[in-house]
Amino acid sequence: MKNTTASLAVLTALVTPDLYAAQSGNSTITLGDVRVLHRESSALRTENVLTSVDVMGSDQIEDKNVMNSWQLLGQMPGIQLTETGQGAESGKATFRAFNGEGYINGIKMLIDGIPSNVNSGNQRFVDMIFPLDIEYIEVVRGTNDPRYGLHNIAGNINYATRQGGNYVDSRLTYGSFNTREVQLAIGHEEGHFAQNYMLAKQDSDGSRDHSNSNKYALGGKWFLSNDEQTFRIGAIARLYHHQADEGGFLTLDELHASRTDSPAKNDNDRSDRDMKHLSLHMDWQLNDDLNLSNKLYYNSYNDDRSITFTSYQPGNAPRQRRLWDEQQLGMLSNLTWRANHLLTLDGGISYEEQDNAYERRRFAYGVPTDFDAPPARIQNDDHYTLRNLGGYVQAIIQPTDSLKIIPAMRVDKFSGHTTAFDGTTVAKGSLQDYGWIEQPKLSVVYSVNPSIDVYANWGRTFQILTGNANPGYRVNGASAYDPSINTGKEVGVKFRPFAGTEARIAVWQQDATDEVSNMPATGTTVGLGETRRRGIDMQFTAQLDDQWTVWGSHAIQEAKVVKAFAANGESMAGKEVFSTPRYISNLGLDYRLNDDWRFGMQARAQGDYYIDTANEAGKNGGFALLDANVSYRLSAATSLDLQVKNLTDREYEYVWYDNFFWGGDDQEMFSPAPGRSAYVSLNMKL
| 3-state SS track over 246-288 | CCCCECHHHHHHCCCCCCHHHCCCEEEEEEEEEEEEEEEEEEC
Chain Cα centroid distance, residue 401: 35
Specify the amino acid at residue 674. P
Question: Edge-to-edge, what's the strand order for the sheet holding 28-31?
Answer: 28-31, 53-57, 134-141, 155-161, 107-111, 114-115
Distance set, CA 238 to CA 38, 67, 132 (Å): 20, 18, 15
Count the neighbouring beta carbons within 10 Å of the beta carbon of residue 437.
21
Q: Cα(52)–Cα(402) distance, rounded to whole angstroms?
A: 19
Residues with Cβ < 8 Å from 350, sequence gap 6 or more? 148, 149, 330, 331, 332, 333, 388, 389, 390, 391
pLDDT of 7 reads 30
**Residue ranges, the chain, pLDDT below 70:** 1-25, 35-48, 312-314, 520-523, 566-570, 660-665
467's torsion region: left (phi>0), alpha (psi -120 to 50) or beta? left
Torsion of CA 69, 71, 76, 78, to 10 degrees: 130
Q: Do 51 and 20 meet the contact criterion of CB atoms below 8 Å apart?
A: no
Show me where the domains of the chain are located: 4-685
Q: What is the pLDDT of residues 45-81, one digit of tens each?
A: 666 677 889 999 998 999 999 999 999 999 999 999 9
Please calculate the CA angle 558-563-566 and round it to the nearest 5 degrees: 145
Q: Do 471 and 518 meet the contact criterion of CB atoms below 8 Å apart?
A: yes
pLDDT of 102 reads 76
CATH domain 4-685 topology: Maltoporin; Chain A (2.40.170)
Peptide bond into 399 cis (omega under 30): no
**Residue 497: is it exposed, middle or buried by C-beta count within 10 angstroms (0-12/13-18/19+)?**
exposed
Q: Are strands 653-657 and 290-308 parallel, antiparallel or unpaired?
A: unpaired
Specify the amino acid at residue 132. L
Q: Cα(661)–Cα(521) distance, rounded to whole angstroms?
A: 11
Q: Do 72 and 31 meet the contact criterion of CB atoms below 8 Å apart?
A: no
Q: Cα(672)–Cα(83) distance, rounded to whole angstroms?
A: 9
Instruction: Name the β-bridge partners of 49.
Output: none
